[in-house]
Amino acid sequence: MIRKKQKQVPHTSGRNEKKRSKSRCSVFAKCGACSHIDVPYEEQLSIKQGSMIKLLNTFCYVDKIVGMDDPFHYRCKVNSVLLKRKDGSVVHGNYSEGTHRIVPIENCLIEDERADRLITDTAKLLGDFKIKIYNDRSDFGLVRYLMVRIGKFTGEMMLVIVTRSPIFPSKNNFIKALLKIHPEVKTVVQNVNSRSDSMVLGDRDIVMYGKGYITDELCGMKFRISPRSFYQVNPVQAEKIYKRAIELADLKGDEVVIDAYCGTGTIGLIAAAAAGRVIGVELNADAIRDAKKNAEINSVENIEFICDDSTKFLEDYAEKGGQADVVLLDPPRAGVGDALIETLKRVKPSRIVYVSCNPFSLERDLKKFTEDGEYTVKAITPYDMFPMTEHVEVVSLLERMTKRKPDTGISLSLDMGEYYDIIEKETMNRQKNE
Ligand code: SAH
């Protein structure tokens, strides 16, 4: 394999755009969440492509970034903080980037418009019902945040009202009035958060209306979403990423697959149809509960879910001599880290599909995977999961090398793929000449 030299597009953060006096977003200067909002979409993609090539091209060829046909209003999960104005009206918005200042937002360009409408009307209703809005300076009031989750492909909507304590005055009348304006809402949950940190959701959910969860469909399967379980905020791109991950896993039907950061089981459940057996591992107990339910509603029987830290699980698994053919990794921004990589090298899966939401921790982890020549990177495909922001999601494939790097003492400026290609060619030439 010859490492191709890829054309690099200079990296810009879109910061110059901030200087423009007129942004397409009315709160751009105050909110600051979408650093690329005024960069034309094609240019955003080429900026991201350029930075991914710069960062990851040393491992293997970086595919063309997969963008969105419509890069606006893609967020299906919206959090909003509430603010009571002096005139008694209630407005909603975001904290200004890096501060504790609330920026009122009516129409966000990346959030689902249905979610924004529901939040605006709920905030108004809270004001009409004279329900107290929490003020973190005085530590007084009841309602702190609103969260809306939408099933992109089912249209189901969930409203979560986050309160300081478990009370809710005029609960039934409030729900009645809300459903009159938004009959499409499937469920309303009160989440109790009495903490003083910046976490939006607390540990207790009280179902006010409906079943307490909604359902969405991805890759032909149904997924249950409850207030606190992880579900990708951009399902259109998530579906493409999952399909690519399954394609790279290259399952033949009898493999043992470990989905090491399985969330509500999404990738593992999709993989199960093409594999022998799947084990999903996840730290969050709520997500595991949803994952088990998801297996049941999709009638998937060759999957089991374990609530554990993935490194600890893999250490125990390796200790017991457990085997895996394919491992799927989809960790949070911190990446998987050295301990998990060392353990995986003992389990020896032939393929590792690594889905990353942070290319910098991916780069660090890929270095660790490949440093002793035990694994080599075979594919890198970037996805624009968060248009208008600087974030990039990457799907990559690592393959296990069957031969180990010989200790020649010679420093080679080739990667192991190139090295073995050359050895193979030389052997063939020698055989021809013999
Ligand atoms: N693959 C899933 C979830 C990816 S998000 C999906 O696409 O929907 C990453 C998940 O890793 C989260 O659900 C988080 O709770 C879980 N997680 C974080 N740290 C973990 C750890 N140390 N061990 C196992 N799971 C972890």
* Mutational pocket test of ligand 1: of 218, 226, 283, 344, the residue with most ligand atoms within 8 Å of the beta carbon: 283
Strand pairing of 77-84 and 143-150?
antiparallel
- Phi and psi for 246 in degrees, rounded to 5? -70, -40
Distance from the alpha carbon of residue 261 to the mean position of ligand 1, in angstroms: 4
Ligand 1 shell residues, CB under 6 Å: 230-232, 261-264, 266-267, 281-284, 287, 309-310, 330-332
Structural contact between residues 279 and 257, judged by C-beta atoms closer than 8 angstroms: yes
Q: Which fold has domain 77-218?
A: OB fold (Dihydrolipoamide Acetyltransferase, E2P) (2.40.50)
In this structure, which residue's CA is closest to atom 21 in ligand 1?
309
In this structure, which residue's CA is closest to atom 20 in ligand 1?
283
Cβ-based neighbours of 400, under 8 Å, separated by 6 or more: 348, 349, 350, 351, 374, 375
40-70+234-402 and 77-218 have identical folds: no
Distance from the alpha carbon of residue 146 to the mean position of ligand 1, in angstroms: 24
Amino acid at 171: K
Structural contact between residues 57 and 65, judged by C-beta atoms closer than 8 angstroms: no
- Phi and psi for 338 in degrees, rounded to 5? -65, -40
User: What is this structure's pTM?
Assistant: 0.86
Distance from the alpha carbon of residue 43 to the mean position of ligand 1, in angstroms: 31
DSSP character at residue 310: H
Tell me the CATH number of domain 40-70+234-402, given options 3.40.50.150, 3.40.50.970, 3.40.50.300, 1.10.569.10: 3.40.50.150
**Residue ranges of E strands in 105-220:** 143-150, 157-163, 185-192, 204-209, 214-218
Name which of 94, 89, 96, 122 is nearest 107 in CA terms.
Answer: 94
Beta bridge partner(s), residue 104: 93
Please report, for residues 83, 127, 147, 220, the alpha-carbon distance to residue 94 in angstroms, rounded to integers and kept in the order given: 10, 18, 12, 34
Amino acid at 220: G
pLDDT one digit per residue (tens) for the chain, 434 residues: 444 456 554 444 444 444 446 888 988 888 888 999 999 999 999 999 999 999 999 999 999 999 999 999 999 999 999 988 888 888 888 888 777 788 888 889 999 999 999 999 999 999 999 999 998 888 899 999 999 999 999 999 999 999 999 999 999 999 999 999 999 999 999 999 999 888 899 999 999 999 999 999 999 999 999 998 889 999 999 999 999 999 999 999 999 999 999 999 999 999 999 999 999 999 999 889 999 999 999 999 999 999 999 999 999 999 999 999 999 999 999 999 999 999 999 999 999 999 999 999 999 999 999 999 999 999 999 999 999 999 999 999 999 997 544 444 333 333 444 434 543 454 444 444 43
Every domain of the chain and the residues it spans: 40-70+234-402, 77-218
Task: Give residue 30's pLDDT.
Answer: 85
